[in-house]
Chain A
């Protein structure tokens, strides 16, 4: 079964410093990986995805993610954190289902807190 793991429940970083939110995956076949962000009382917002190609994927709001096949990781990064980046971040893997559709399997989420 496809799965992703987010080993850190919370990450704290000072504004202006680089941030990393970790994600590792376990899939059979090619991985299709996504990052989403959730602000309080809101739905999930898409940040970026890896399907194939370059291992460094650039996304919304200055975020990027590095796909590493040998380490089965897909860590989310940002060079300079903002207080407004404080939110709940989810890593997800797309599973193509036999019915022709697909679903997202999410990690448990990492709460990012950016402090002044």
Chain B
């Protein structure tokens, strides 16, 4: 079974631009979560999508948004990029239902550098 895939793997943007990152979950997984990883803040939860609906959102500004498609693939968008948005963005999928205890499986991440 193929794992979680993320595209692109690396991205360089300049301040003020916007960026879209893509995630394809493991086949059959309906929940997709996004995390941001930085040396200073560590791993932080961005949001979770299930059945095309955002169920939960972390403490990030509105410049960070996402969506999920009917095939469970997900995209996240960051508008008006700031230098501090430079990070590894990780996508994770799981066989999520209510009160789910299944583990999340992570993709390799997209390394975003903002210049």
Residues of A within 8 A of B (CB): 32, 34, 36, 41-46, 49, 51, 90, 94, 96-97, 99-109
Contacts and interface: CB of A to CB of B under 8 A. Distances in A.
17 contacts: A34-B103, A42-B109, A43-B90, A43-B106, A43-B107, A44-B90, A46-B103, A46-B106, A90-B43, A94-B101, A99-B55, A99-B56, A101-B100, A102-B56, A103-B45, A104-B92, A106-B42
Contacts of B104: 46, 104
A106 B104 CA distance: 13
Given A49-B101, A106-B43, 4 more contacts: A41-B111, A90-B43, A100-B55, A104-B35
Interface residues of B, number: 28
A43 B109 contact: yes
A26 B31 CA distance: 26
Most chain B CB inside 10 Å of its own CB: which residue of A41, A45, A103: A103
Interface of B: 4, 6, 31, 33, 35, 42-43, 45, 48, 50, 55-56, 58, 90, 92, 96, 98-101, 103-109, 111
Contact of A103 (B33, B105, B106, B108): B33
B104 to A, nearest CB: 6
Nearest to B53: A99
Nearest to B50: A101
A97 B90 CA distance: 20
A114 to B, nearest CB: 22
A86 to B, nearest CB: 19
